[in-house]
A and B are shown apart, each in its own frame.
Chain A
């Protein structure tokens, strides 16, 4: 057996704001996969070319579940829970996802859209009445996804602030001043709340995710109470921080690229492709995440990955692959072909992709149409997230 190459340290370079790590282009150009070492866990193979990423993500010979644990290649110390959808393999994954999928179907999303619009309109009215300068992150991006998830789940709107706090605590890290005890407490409180909500929905069913979950407890393939709470928990956490962050990144791009902002004011029909293009273009996370372990030897991208070794797909690198996206570093709202992988690919493709898209579209339409004079207040120090896996601004002070 040939020796494995010496791993490169990854993330490759220190990057600021939304700069794109040049190491990804180097990795795509290299023969075979790139052997990398993350701050925690074992070395892994980084997959960076579009076709390789797609092929790996839909290949059942790679197991997500078997890559969990202390060895998992990762940037933060904490290890992932084994019971969330993203960390399960078929057949358990298929069975659980089937239940939750019902609550996220295209048809349900279409019915949720007017509620999302109403939530956004209230926030926009509030912002307008309060007047500038104002922080968009605090007044819009932090609150809206939480409220939408509350609505989806069927929780009381009045509980949205508690939800928000749980979400913030559970997504934070030691460097953000959160202790393991804080995280454990938030986790226990949230699970208790979800248990009570499940009990309530059994008595009074509604048109919401928790009702879908508890009703599936009566079917021929019933979910356990633990399944129900685990699913609701993971949907909640997956849906809040990511959407807030993408809203903040989209707004940052539009506020720092006045030509693009003007283009959307003149052509609001471009908002939908603009949302897709910003999803493609944004380096959303500090590193690629969620490695998978080969259960047999697999030839991938010019490397023979041995059974037992892990691979890590970079969606960001794939989204800048010049063989698929012409002039990939350019942000182009009129790009004709944009099959980006921002929501991943295969069985773990983001369950909430349509919900996220709708929220981003509603948000960008609102900013462009209701605040056409929107601009960053000059000379502000934009706070960028640190100590977390997501990259993005944590504040954007604007006037209009």
Chain B
């Protein structure tokens, strides 16, 4: 996992068109993700302090609707392409 070697802050984006509202993210990082009108939203999208749980939320999202990037460089931290997609 690249999370522990990737320094924050991060940008967190939820693609609400893809989100199925499973609540996996809100259950994993309740302080960051919230379900509103049946879809997830990051209450803070930019400059989010690094936290492995955010990577977990992105990897566990059944719709792969969450993208975590390194702020500034835009390097994608999660999800990665390990599922061959």
Interface pair A337/B56, CB less than 8 Å apart: no
Interface size class of A (residues with CB under 8 A): 20 to 34
> Which residues of chain B in 58-85 are interfacial with respect to chain A, using CB atoms and an 8 Å cutoff?
59-64, 79, 82-85
Which A49-74 residues have C-beta < 8 A from chain B? 54, 57-60
By a CB distance below 8 angstroms, the chain B residues around A98 are 56, 59-60
Give the chain B neighbours of A345 by CB distance below 8 A.
Answer: 22-23, 27
Asked whether, in the complex, the Cβ of B1 is within 8 Å of the Cβ of A343, the reply is no
Q: Does A106 contact B (CB under 8 A)?
A: yes
The residue that B24 contacts in the complex, of A103, A220, A347, A354, with Cβ under 8 A, is A347
- Beta-carbon contacts of A339-354 to B below 8 Å, as 1s and 0s? 1000101111101011
Do residues A101 and B35 form an inter-chain contact, with CB atoms below 8 A?
no
Closest Cβ neighbor of B39 among chain A residues: A339
**B27 proximity list for chain A (CB < 8 A):** 57-60, 345-349
- The answer to whether A94 touches B53, judged by C-beta atoms less than 8 angstroms apart, is yes
Q: Mark B23-59, 1 if CB is under 8 A from A, else 0.
A: 1101110100001001000000000000001001001
Which among B1, B38, B53, B62 is the interface contact of A106 at CB below 8 angstroms?
B62
Residues of A within 8 A of B23 (CB): 54, 57-58, 345-347, 349
Measured between C-beta atoms, what is the minimum distance from B46 to chain A in Å? Answer: 24
The answer to whether A102 and B83 touch (CB under 8 A), given A346-B26, A347-B28, is: yes
Interface size class of B (residues with CB under 8 A): 20 to 34
The verdict on A17 contacting chain B, using a C-beta distance below 8 Å, is no
Number of A-B contacts (CB under 8 A): 80
- Asked whether, in the complex, the Cβ of B24 is within 8 Å of the Cβ of A349, the reply is yes
B1 touches A104 (CB 8 A): no
B14 interface residue per 8 A CB criterion: no
Nearest CB of B to A361, in Å = 14
B28 cross-chain contacts in A, Cβ below 8 A? 90, 94, 347
Instruction: Please tell me which one of the listed residues B18, B38, B59 contacts residue A101 in the complex, with CB atoms under 8 A apart.
Output: B59
Q: How far is the CA of A347 from the CA of B35 in the complex (A)?
A: 13
The docked-state distance in angstroms from the alpha carbon of A354 to that of B79 is: 18
Q: Is A189 an interface residue (CB 8 A)?
A: no
Q: How far is the CA of A105 from the CA of B24 in the complex (A)?
A: 14
Which residues A86-111 have CB closer than 8 A to chain B?
90, 94, 97-98, 101-108
Asked if A204 is at the interface of the complex by the 8 Å CB criterion, the answer is no
**With a CB–CB cut-off of 8 A, which chain B residues contact A348?**
27
| Contacting residues, chain A, for B1 (C-beta < 8 A) | 220-221
List A contacts of B56 (CB < 8 A).
94, 98
Q: Which residues of A contact B83 (CB under 8 A)?
A: 102-103, 105, 107-108, 212
**9 A-B pairs with the lowest CB-CB distances in the bound complex, closest first:** A107-B85, A346-B27, A339-B38, A347-B27, A349-B22, A345-B23, A58-B27, A346-B23, A102-B83
29 A-B pairs in the complex with CB atoms less than 8 angstroms apart: A54-B23, A57-B23, A57-B27, A59-B30, A60-B27, A94-B28, A94-B56, A98-B56, A101-B59, A101-B60, A101-B61, A102-B82, A102-B83, A103-B83, A105-B64, A105-B79, A106-B62, A107-B64, A212-B83, A221-B1, A337-B38, A343-B22, A345-B23, A347-B23, A349-B22, A349-B24, A349-B27, A351-B62, A354-B63
B residues in contact (CB < 8 Å) with A:
1, 18, 20-24, 26-28, 30, 35, 38, 53, 56, 59-64, 79, 82-85
